[in-house]
Amino acid sequence: MINMAFREVVTETLDILNHMEKAYIEKIPKKFINFLEENKSTTYVSKLNHSNKINEMNLKEGTKNLLATIYLSYWCSPQEKANYAKILNENEKKYQEELRKKYNPDNIFIKRT
């Protein structure tokens, strides 16, 4: 079952896609667009200001993630995908290092001042 938060993310994503050039939309499989249409919220109204750049819009975090997935899956070139994957790997390494520092089992019983 799809929850309401995801339905709102889908609604925002469709709102953005509906304001994009047709050439971008044609690169997305119809089956995926149909999935989005079938799972959008029937009550949530997206209030995005399309005169702003996308990075200036107040998007839900899930909307950003869904748009990133669409970008990676359907719009980027192979070189862009490689660069994007490199950035994601670097971010994951940084995150894992932070977790290791924060929850290092060797330091659990050390008294902190």
What integer pLDDT is reported at residue 2 of this predicted model?
77
pLDDT score for 84: 86
pLDDT tens track for 30-87: 999 999 999 999 999 999 999 999 999 999 999 999 999 999 999 999 999 999 889 9
Q: Where does 19-108 have alpha helices with state H?
A: 22-26, 30-39, 61-70, 78-102
Question: Would you say residue 111 has pLDDT above 90?
Answer: no
Rounded Cα distance between 85 and 101, Å, is 24
The predicted pLDDT at position 113 comes to 57
Q: What is the pLDDT of residue 95?
A: 95
CA atoms within 13 A on the CB side of 101: 6
Per-residue pLDDT band for 102 (boundaries 50, 70, 90) equals confident
